[in-house]
A and B are shown apart, each in its own frame.
Chain A
């Protein structure tokens, strides 16, 4: 019966919503449309002439090996980055929950990384990972030539995945801690009386009840891995060595702003949008519905 709590009239809600809608139209809908339009045309580097090519740009990208390389890199980066951020955050949250009364300091400090910008972290880690002066350089005294993050693709990938997870964990941690605290203590007490030790309790009771938050966090992390990874990649590896860390978002940027290929970059944008959209769709309609049915 929500409707009874509402006010009448059209002008006031319109006036209240309009500034936001105008802004969104200008900086969301219009650019999205533009990307779509460009993706169907062959556009000159500065955008002032164009010929319609239909799906030509898409087929060009879809037959380009560098597209698949970027896609694979993105998938690898997303898979490792997201699972690492979730696993570590969940682990930390579960342990803090065990120290519910004394864990305040951890709850406070473990969130700090959220305030650190990806680029700042990138700069710090780039220096820290340096084989000549960084702590990991000691590995090279054990196995000469082992730690070469700026030459070895796997190592540079590991580095950006670590950096990405580091920036994501605080958010996940906050969500998980809050969700764990919201589980009624009676459930855990009942399970304990039934003979479940803390590990069993976590697996059998807390984890299943965290499902909605897990899906939510996974979606957010996935989208972030498509998008927010840019700062890390740009400061640490610039997509290299070779194309080892050239994720899709970075390729869109370099193709568009450095290669000045607006059409190709826009086609890539559209495909990345589709990916993000699919991720949201899955979260919203598949998991959300299932969670509601179970709940």
Chain B
């Protein structure tokens, strides 16, 4: 099975007055596992369905493997798809479900049985081939749906939130299984989800959509460590990045309700900025750090989460130490300036640092 690159250009679609895809340009590299991530209503499903040919975009083109398929009906695009509710044919057995497309494609019985057998083996469905979908568990149905898609040996595999109907434990198992399948098959895979954990664990490449626009595209680590906007910062990671309002004064950045540190960004003086800091990058117990009052603490066994306040601002800290904190206690928070992302408070866009000189957060007064 060869993989094919997919290119989407200028794709736009509106339902009534709501714009679900706003002039999207996205490249999906051949053989890559790309996760299209975003909150509900961001246009991710519409994008997937436009690629599959189930939805017609108002404007724009779709190329698969270099060929323009914008006007091609779905069955001739070389895509196979796994639906959110699996869409198994209720009156057909598992093997008939997997083999239906092969039969329509005119494959002879022998070849069909071989491919069904292969897909069944790959997914551990061997004992279930004669059952009806109603006799299967949710996880098994999911496997059949995936088997139906891969048995067709298409160049492109599309997944529309396929794990959202499974319970947490099964979802985790299927994640690992899907990644293994992808590595074995090597087809170009587009996987739509609203779950950032799925995106972080599965993807070679993430496309984060919001309001019909690409917020950021890149590797999971790039999105995690260098979010391009406050939206990305808040969407990726559990718990998400802390966003604190601050001002840019002279050479310093002054956090509202707390201390300040040397600015390493170019910004208009006295401009309002947001600083983003991951909960795990905060040091709780730095004598020079800024004061924060503990509001609540959760112990998750492997690590602890503290909800604290700096002035009026809520800040979340995770740490794996053994020390416990109680409500009302004062923390001394500090973090390395390298762990910080600065955003324009109005546009929400990241301001690139001009210096990577390590500097620590200082509680009182910024020294030049």
Contacts and interface: CB of A to CB of B under 8 A. Distances in A.
| A–B direct touch in complex (beta carbons closer than 8 A) | yes
Nearest to B54: A4
List 5 tightest A-B contacts by C-beta distance, closest first. Answer: A4-B55, A4-B54, A4-B49, A1-B15, A8-B73
Interface string A1-24: 100100010000000000000000
5 contacts: A1-B15, A4-B49, A4-B54, A4-B55, A8-B73
B85 to A, nearest CB: 13
A4 B54 CA distance: 6
Contacts of B73: 8
Query: What bracket does the count of chain A residues touching chain B fall in?
Result: under 10
B74 to A, nearest CB: 10
A71 B37 CA distance: 67
Contacts, number: 5
Contacts of A8: 73
Interface of A: 1, 4, 8
A8 to B, nearest CB: 8
Nearest to A1: B15
B14 to A, nearest CB: 13
Interface string B5-18: 00000000001000
Contacts of A4: 49, 54-55
A1 B16 CA distance: 11
Contacts of B55: 4
Query: What bracket does the count of chain B residues touching chain A fall in?
Result: under 10
A8 B54 CA distance: 11
A83 B192 CA distance: 56
A37 to B, nearest CB: 44
A144 to B, nearest CB: 68
A295 B15 CA distance: 25
Contacts of A1: 15
A4 B51 CA distance: 13
A281 to B, nearest CB: 29
A260 to B, nearest CB: 56
Interface in B48-74: 49, 54-55, 73
A139 B266 CA distance: 107
B72 to A, nearest CB: 12
Contacts of B49: 4
A4 B55 CA distance: 6
A8 B55 CA distance: 12
A8 B75 CA distance: 13
B48 to A, nearest CB: 12
A8 B71 CA distance: 12
B125 to A, nearest CB: 27
A191 to B, nearest CB: 34
A1 B73 CA distance: 18
A3 to B, nearest CB: 9
Nearest to A7: B73
A27 to B, nearest CB: 35
Nearest to B73: A8
A278 B242 CA distance: 64
Contacts of B54: 4
A1 B55 CA distance: 9
Nearest to A5: B54
A8 B74 CA distance: 12
A8 B49 CA distance: 16
A24 B15 CA distance: 36
B331 to A, nearest CB: 47
Interface string B183-219: 0000000000000000000000000000000000000
A1 B43 CA distance: 13
Contacts of B15: 1
A195 to B, nearest CB: 40
Nearest to A8: B73
Interface in B73-96: 73
Interface in B130-175: none
B42 to A, nearest CB: 15
A4 B49 CA distance: 9
Nearest to B55: A4
A102 B143 CA distance: 43
A4 B15 CA distance: 12
A252 to B, nearest CB: 48
Nearest to B52: A4
A4 B73 CA distance: 12
A4 B56 CA distance: 8
B233 to A, nearest CB: 31
A1 to B, nearest CB: 7
A2 to B, nearest CB: 12
A164 to B, nearest CB: 42
A12 to B, nearest CB: 14
B20 to A, nearest CB: 10
Nearest to B50: A4
B324 to A, nearest CB: 43
Interface in B246-272: none
